[in-house]
Amino acid sequence: MIMFTSLFYLGIFLSLLGFVLPLLRLENNRKAHRTFSYSLSILSSVSFLAFSALVFLKKGEYLIPVYSNAGLIDFTFYVDQLSAFFIAVISVVSLSSAVYSFGYGEHLSHERRKDYMASLLNLFALSMVLVVASYNTLEFIFFWELLSMSSFLFVLFEYGKPGTRKAGLYYFIMTQLSTMFLLLGFFGIYANTGSFNIQPVTSLQNLTLIFLSLFIGFSIKAGVVPFHKWLPYAHPAAPSNISAMMSGVMLKVAIYGLMRFTLTVLPQERWWGVLILVAGTVSAILGVIYALKEHDIKRLLAYHSIENIGIILIGFGLYLIYSANDLNELAILALAAALFHTLNHALFKSLLFLTAGSVVSATGKHNIEEYGGLIKTMPYTAALFLIGAVSISGLPPFNGFVSELMLFQAFLGSYLIQDPLLKSLVVLCLSGFALTSALAAACFVKAFGITFLAVPRSESARDAKEVGKCMIAGAVIPAVLCIVLGVFSLQIFSLMGYRTDLPDMLVIGIIMSLFYAITYLVLKNTAANKVRAGETWGCGTPLSSRTEYTASGFSQPIVRFFKDIYQTREVNERRFYDKQNTLFKEGAGEIHLMKFFEEKLYDPVARSINYLSIKVSALENWSLDTYVLYAFLAVLATVAYVGWIA
Amino acid sequence: MIDAIPIPGIIQAILVLIMITGALIVTRKDLLSLLSMYRLQSLLLMFLALVLYAESGNYVLLQMAVLTLASKVLLIPYIIRRMQKEINISKDISFHYISPAYSLFITVALIFFSYYSLSKTLNELTDNKLFYLGAVFGISLALMGMMVTFSRKKIVTKTIGYLMMENGALIFSIFITELPFLIEVLIIIDLVILVLLAAILAVGMDSSIEEFQAKLERIKHPARNGGTH
Amino acid sequence: MNPAQVLCIAINAGLILGISPFFMGLVKKTKALCQGRRGPPLMQPYYNLAKLLKKERVYSGNSSVIMKATPYINMAAITAAALFIPVACITTPAYGLGNIILFLYLLALAKFFMALAGLDAGSTFGGMSSSREMSISSIIEPITIVVFAALVYTLHTVNFYDMFSQTTIMQPFFQPELLFISIPLFIVLIVETARVPVDNPETHLELTMVHEGMLLEYSGRDLAFMEFSNSIKQTLFMAVLINTILPWGLSAELTAPAILFSAAAFLVKGAFLAVLMGLFESAQAKVRLFALPSLFALAFFFSILTVCLEVFS
Amino acid sequence: MALIEYALFALAVICLTALTKSHRLMSVLSLIHVLSCFLLIYSVLSTPVFPKYYIDENFMIDYLSVYEILIASTVFLLVVIYRKDYLENLLARGFLNKNNLALVYAAMNSLLLVIILSFSSNNLALLWIFAELTTLFSALMIAVMNSQKNIDAALKYVFISSTVMVFTFIGLVLLFTETEKTLGAGTLNWSALMENAKNLDPHVLITAYAFIFLGFAAKAGIAPFHTALPHAYSKAPSSVSTVLSAVVLNIGLFAILRIYSIMRETGSAAAASNILLFYGMLSIVIGSLSMLHQKNTRKLIAFSSVENSGLMLIGIGISTPAALFWVLLHTLAYSLTKASLFLSTGILHNQYLSNKVENIKAALQVQPFASAALIIGTAAIIGIPPFLPFTTKFSILAEIAKYSVFLLIPVLGFILITYAGFAVVLTEAFTRDSEEEKPGDLKKYRAPLGLKAPIVLLLLVILFLGLYTPKELIDLIWNITRTLYR
């Protein structure tokens, strides 16, 4: 018991130290300081990891008092299996991110920036851990805001680049919007119970309001459609090691919040599961469909995060539906799927972001159309990216497949539900989910194929060099875990005490490698082992990088299939010689892909607030007379009110 | 000794006269006559204090009458007169938001408004009809003063508007004799400082050429309104 | 797993592996006869494979390790999938063999790498085919899943072995759900095996080819593997369809006569289905790529209908 | 030292300041004056009898006065440290006339004096007069700069608050009459009113309250009486804006709190808090929406303080002791944070000679200190942990939720808009493409330590208080809460 908590304290202490040290600039050898700070980050991740593993295995609940101040702030942390699980997820990703940063952090442009990177990385990781371990809502918001703030600074980190400011603003406003919804939910609970503690509540007024505001608040932060719009802006803008953490675990913090409050705090209602399932399905489908259209590698990955968050929500929604229908075994399967997918997504998404970061820093380009052939110059990065791509596409025997398999199993068990309408809804969501996973595979064929295969499409891709050891090592950690968690999934589950009749991926893996080995070995020594190098068949024309298939070409059929979802807008401009518009001079026609949510949801809201704001700002017109008039009217109104009530 | 004099009638008459001066201040354009109206109003206020003193025999009222005479009839108008000379303009022609004719209608509306809004409160507070009248007229006068402040262009007029508000408030306090004299004195000091400050500032502002330039600049850069020290 | 189970699975897989090229040849022969040609001999696919295994391989200078590894990965995944479908004898295997989702995803793994290999050489044909392949497979995926879900809803299990041991006992012809399921299942079969009207396995024309385009750069032994694995995949889907509507003959006991009988029964049923496929293909014209969604929508409609049948009854 | 001695001492200081010509001496005298305020608090607190009355109970120092004087003195202390170097710079650039220097110092000292007197007034009429006087001295300090726009701003400041404050006088008269009628002898002493609040007629009281509220609302920067503030803050020298927003605004809230605590005892409490809630909400709406299109950093902060006053008004209006506790702590947090913001903009102003966003170029390279201070201060003011405003804002909002969740929804919505406003302006100011806009020809202004130290100090204090609030402070505020909300 003592050892447990001391690990937790140690983690906090190391992170804080790592946060403060680079800021102080104690000596001239700043690089040593940064290295030290990253090492502290690694150490603290390790200690958090050990701590959460112990808690998880002992299945206990622990209250850890850290600091409290005269009843204003009470930093008491609460760790049970759920939070321990999330702490472990966060720690693994921060660990690999920190290792990666040894190399990546030194590529940044200014000395000061490098310092901030090392410092903020610690704060960022720590605040995530502490949000997850929060015991009261004040604490939750405290670290939640620290998290938002540190990630906001990271989004603005390279503020000189075009688009970064927009990304930063988008991100800031959306995260604060989510905080506002959370506050509404938290205070709704507080108004009922009078306590900030995150504890089970039995009866609540305004339960629907509270649940909806919490759901929306967490959805915004998790990037659930239609609140996802900040994600594809913010993730590409942030440095890659941070994108890995943002996408890999920051979104999961929101998932944790949703799970914590719906599972243990609020009394559940039947329709919540349906809402969450539908929201999850919609964001899974739309996330991947948008990803297909995207050619900025980091933005593509960001859209996939939306998809995967959707998948996690699908699992969680199924859990709620099944447990409302008393199908406990299925419910547990669905929840396990959701949680396992949380872990898996954290791993493969951080792996993908880290390797994408390596590619970006090796080529200096973001657009996958400008890559190509990198597998020859950057073989390690390519292999790691491939592992991530296979995992995220949900192919056996990797981890992504296992969680998707569990979800499919959970879906297919829906024949036990009594309500026919609910049953058919579940089937519809199932088909949506299937579509999602197939499209994800298509998208990663594109991402990997266009980036790493064939001939380089630009000078920078041709001249790319393999990145340094640290950056590879950082990506190796999640890659190994992707394989291990996939192949040994059943063994790990039974180690954790969860018995299930899922297929044993170890056996499947062995069978496959056996077949691979047999075919390979049998044919290795036969006569026809001659290999000749030739040219690609191009119907006689010389092939170059210009004739290769492009990413837009690749996704074009799917874009055509789903053209109703990607709405287009035509813009016609015509200029005339005369005012009556009879003599046509010149014109231009464009077809834009509509940013549906941005144009139909975000912009109208923003516009109306803007309109109001302009109207209100116009009240301030620099004229004393007007100002006194306002005061005069206010006096009259107040007197009238008083006269009315007296 | 002065039973023969119908004191309530006199008070009513003075109150009505004060309101008339107020109405004139609202509508007049000539700065000089505005000032005289204000002076007249203050004088009437002094008389009001004297009449009330005659009725109740409270020395504070007498002191107040003297104080009003010294400050509001003599000192403050003097300062404003100096200021007017300095600025060298004699008319405040343009009206903002309200034209003179409408402002009179609004004045009537304000009186009714104050009456109806405050009737319940005042009924609770006193049975004295005169106090009632004084309260309603006082508040109306204050509101009228505020109207002057926002509907007239020149700082001089605005200052007079403010002083009229102050007079309205004073009508109130005259009926309540026991308000500590110290406070009355402080109020007057406050008022004098304010007028002085307004005078000094107005010299900087109202000098017509300067205002023209400021306007010009505002037309040139409508968006800009911050900046220099 | 006990040796009997292992043996049973091995027999199934062996049968599938052995018989697949034959079905391929049969379809080709049927089509040729329909077109008024004599067509290649029924055993031609076997000859092809034997020939290809002896030939040297040519790799494009642009290609990478992906190109070289894909045939093996393909073979491994699809052979593993062959362990999932009973064609001759039924048992109750452990380790999740027979899991329908795993089955589908093993095939998806093969497809994923095949599409990557298509992109690897930098050829326009390869890229185009990969793109089309992935597009078609992603929109057929919901249909496949719903069809399988319908199977699960009807039979209450997610394992092929359990499913088909139930269907052998039931009378599928009197089970309208299963008959309904067979229609979308047939469409899935057509799509997954790259046949007209979705794809045309015969041509190497830029306009029409989907599956073949990815194999353009392959030669020798690699090509043999790719062709072979494709034929196995076809047999697997055929077996699913056959076992759903016509499961008679599947033996639950592991004795030589029973196995021989059921293998023969499968051969007959498979041959019948292959001829049917050939006839179907001959009767259809290739549909434009972008007209496919409406075809798929029809299939989706059917599959949802079967689910509704189950849900609302 | 008692209040009277302090007042005499302060008058002496003012006279001396007016006489001397040495800038250094003026600065030292002001410093002594501020320190004497601390001495006053110390001497008041050192004897256990509380509250303390002076001059016929016309003056009273109770816990609330001590608290407010403490905030005022702290801000003044830092401003005094900051001011000397700041004014030197203004003198050097000719924005300020050398002859006016004594006036500036005298006005500043007088302002401090009247502020302290208004916080220690028991008589509401005295409070009103002193509040009025703070307006005048503030206006004087705004107007002292060599610019017509300053005069304009000063005039606005004077006219808007003074005209509305006339109504306060009417309210006071009503209140006085009522006490005269019910108690026999009229009184405006707050302590006496608190004692007898239950006996007074609620209808008359609510009318009186409404009038009194209007005037002090103008002082507290409540919409729609806030209109002068943005102009005044943006035109005045930083040191003056700091005092105006961090201290003078508190007088209004202080007075409203005093009056409301009387009303709370009577039958018209609900109507009284409705007025507060209405004006609070109005301020939040107007303040936040005005921030979104702001191009001037100081006006931005001004509107933020309007919004914030609104929030505090709502906090008072919901009328629970817990809410009051947090509002009071928030007053401290907010005053200090706002002070740091205004002081930081002062340094930026010295560099760019403008408060407008469009003129701030490559600030992160040219003025890293001021930029960082402004960013951190903004983070603090919008309620980002671990600074003190986070805790207080969080708790006020929680108390609002307890009052009504549906009141909370619009409040949260408009608070979000203020966040957006800050974010828009700050990102615009600091992240404009620095590669393009090389500092190049910009002459770098080196801020002396005297300008930097107060900012650092303020930020450290709110950081420290955010993590550790001393028990003494908490006890003090609970004592205030108990005296106000019986």
Q: What is the 3-state secondary structure (H, E, C) of B82-142?
A: HHHHHHCCCECCCECCCCHHHHHHHHHHHHHHHHHHHHHHHHHHCCCHHHHHHHHHHHHHH
Instruction: For residue D201, count other CB atoms closer than 10 A to its CB.
Output: 19
Q: Are strands A531-534 and A73-79 parallel, antiparallel or unpaired?
A: unpaired
| Gap between the Cα atoms of A402 and A504, Å rounded | 10
How close does chain A come to B149, measured CA to CA in Å? Answer: 7
Q: Answer whether A195 touches D (CB < 8 Å).
A: no
Q: Using CB atoms, pick whichever of A160, A624, A633 lies closest to residue D156.
A: A624
CA-closest candidate to residue C237, choices C20, C6, C10 = C20
How close does chain B come to D24, measured CA to CA in Å? Answer: 23
Which residue of A lies nearest to B98 if distances are taken between CA atoms?
A629
How close does chain A come to B118, measured CA to CA in Å? Answer: 6
How close does chain A come to D191, measured CA to CA in Å? Answer: 25
Residue B192 with chain D: CB contacts under 8 Å = none
The residues of chain C scoring below 70 in pLDDT are 171-174, 206-207, 313
Considering the domain boundaries, does residue B229 fall inside one? no
Burial class (CB in 10 A: 0-12, 13-18, 19+), D69: buried
How close does chain B come to A608, measured CA to CA in Å? Answer: 22
Which residue of B lies nearest to A624 if distances are taken between CA atoms?
B150
Burial class (CB in 10 A: 0-12, 13-18, 19+), D146: middle
Q: Using CB atoms, pick whichever of B172, B205, B223 lies closest to residue D155.
A: B205
Q: Answer whether B134 touches D (CB < 8 Å).
A: no
Q: Which residues pair with D153 in a beta bridge?
A: none
Q: What confidence score (pLDDT) does residue A152 get?
A: 94
Tokens at A170, concatenated: 């988008």
Residue B147 with chain A: CB contacts under 8 Å = 632
Host domain of residue C144:
3-312
Q: What is the DSSP letter of B71?
A: I
Per the model's pLDDT, the better-predicted residue between D166 and B91 turns out to be D166
Q: Is the pLDDT of residue A360 over 80?
A: yes
Mean pLDDT of chain D: 90
Burial class (CB in 10 A: 0-12, 13-18, 19+), A306: buried
| Number of domain units in chain B | 1
The residues of chain D scoring below 70 in pLDDT are 1, 433-442
| Number of domain units in chain D | 1
| Gap between the Cα atoms of A189 and A207, Å rounded | 8
Tens of pLDDT along C167-211? 888 766 667 778 888 888 998 999 888 888 888 877 777 667 788
Residue D199 with chain B: CB contacts under 8 Å = none
Q: What confidence score (pLDDT) does residue B203 get?
A: 72
Tens of pLDDT along A508-529? 999 999 999 988 888 777 656 7
| Number of domain units in chain C | 1
Count of pairs with CB atoms under 8 A, one residue in A, one in D: 175
Of the residues A622, A639, A645, the best mutation for testing chain B's interface (the one with the most B CB atoms within 10 Å of its CB) is: A639
Q: Using CB atoms, pick whichever of A625, A639, A644 lies closest to residue B97.
A: A625
Tokens at D86, concatenated: 């700041």
Q: Using CB atoms, pick whichever of D213, D271, D400 lies closest to residue A645.
A: D271
At residue A239, the 3 state secondary structure works out as: coil
At residue C137, the 3 state secondary structure works out as: helix
Q: Using CB atoms, pick whichever of C61, C128, C143 lies closest to residue A535.
A: C61
Summarize the confidence of residues A558-571 as an average pLDDT: 81
CB interface of D with B, residues 326-365, below 8 Å? 349, 353-356
Residue B144 with chain A: CB contacts under 8 Å = none
Residue C209 with chain A: CB contacts under 8 Å = none
Of the residues A627, A629, A636, the best mutation for testing chain D's interface (the one with the most D CB atoms within 10 Å of its CB) is: A627
Q: Are strands A568-576 and A584-593 parallel, antiparallel or unpaired?
A: antiparallel
Residue C148 with chain A: CB contacts under 8 Å = 412
3-state secondary structure A369-430: HHCCCHHHHCHHHHHHHHHHHHHHCCCCCCHHHHHHHHHHHHHHHHHHCCCHHHHHHHHHHH
How close does chain A come to D3, measured CA to CA in Å? Answer: 33
Determine whether the interchain pair A643/B117 forms a contact, defined as Cβ–Cβ distance below 8 Å: yes
Residue B210 with chain D: CB contacts under 8 Å = 148
Residue B159 with chain A: CB contacts under 8 Å = none
Residue C125 with chain A: CB contacts under 8 Å = 537
CA-closest candidate to residue A38, choices A87, A97, A81 = A97
Which residue of D lies nearest to B144 if distances are taken between CA atoms?
D163
Confidence of residue B29 (pLDDT cuts 50, 70, 90): confident
Tokens at A564, concatenated: 């109703």
Q: Which residues pair with A575 in a beta bridge?
A: A586
Residue A634 with chain B: CB contacts under 8 Å = none
Residue D55 with chain B: CB contacts under 8 Å = none
Which residue of B lies nearest to A632 if distances are taken between CA atoms?
B146
Q: What share of chain C is helix, strand, coil (3-state, %, to 5)?
A: 75, 5, 25
Count of pairs with CB atoms under 8 A, one residue in A, one in B: 45
Determine whether the interchain pair D148/B146 forms a contact, defined as Cβ–Cβ distance below 8 Å: no
Summarize the confidence of residues B94-100 as an average pLDDT: 80
Q: What confidence score (pLDDT) does residue B227 get?
A: 38
Of the residues A620, A629, A638, A645, the best mutation for testing chain B's interface (the one with the most B CB atoms within 10 Å of its CB) is: A629
Q: Using CB atoms, pick whichever of C58, C111, C124 lies closest to residue A532.
A: C58
Of the residues B106, B125, B150, the best mutation for testing chain A's interface (the one with the most A CB atoms within 10 Å of its CB) is: B150
Summarize the confidence of residues A212-217 as an average pLDDT: 96
| Gap between the Cα atoms of A645 and A168, Å rounded | 49
How close does chain A come to C241, measured CA to CA in Å? Answer: 19
Residue B169 with chain D: CB contacts under 8 Å = 166-167, 169-170, 173
Tens of pLDDT along C183-192? 889 989 998 8
Q: What confidence score (pLDDT) does residue D441 get?
A: 62
Q: Answer whether B119 touches D (CB < 8 Å).
A: no
Which residue of C lies nearest to A563 if distances are taken between CA atoms?
C290
Domain ranges of chain A: 563-594, 605-645
Tokens at C65, concatenated: 């390790």
D304: region left, alpha or beta (phi > 0 left; psi from -120 to 50 alpha):
alpha
CB B52 within 8 A of CB B175: yes
Q: Is the pLDDT of residue A483 over 80?
A: yes
Determine whether the interchain pair D173/B146 forms a contact, defined as Cβ–Cβ distance below 8 Å: no
Q: Answer whether D186 touches B (CB < 8 Å).
A: yes
Q: Answer whether D54 touches B (CB < 8 Å).
A: no
Q: Is the pLDDT of residue A47 over 70?
A: yes
Q: Answer whether A633 touches B (CB < 8 Å).
A: no
Q: What confidence score (pLDDT) does residue C116 get?
A: 95
Q: Which amino acid is at A498?
A: Y
Q: Using CB atoms, pick whichever of C59, C135, C137 lies closest to residue A561.
A: C135
Q: What confidence score (pLDDT) does residue D281 get?
A: 96
Tokens at D1, concatenated: 């030292």
| Gap between the Cα atoms of A308 and A316, Å rounded | 12
CA-closest candidate to residue A336, choices A351, A324, A318, A309 = A318
| Gap between the Cα atoms of A499 and A101, Å rounded | 38
Tens of pLDDT along A104-160? 988 887 788 888 899 999 999 999 999 999 999 999 999 999 999 999 999 998 887
Count of pairs with CB atoms under 8 A, one residue in A, one in C: 249
Tokens at B94, concatenated: 């343009």
How close does chain D come to B162, measured CA to CA in Å? Answer: 6
Q: Answer whether A634 touches B (CB < 8 Å).
A: no
CA-closest candidate to residue B130, choices B120, B122, B142 = B122
Mean pLDDT of chain A: 90
Please state the pTM of the whole predicted model. Answer: 0.93
Determine whether the interchain pair A412/C152 forms a contact, defined as Cβ–Cβ distance below 8 Å: yes
How close does chain D come to B213, measured CA to CA in Å? Answer: 11
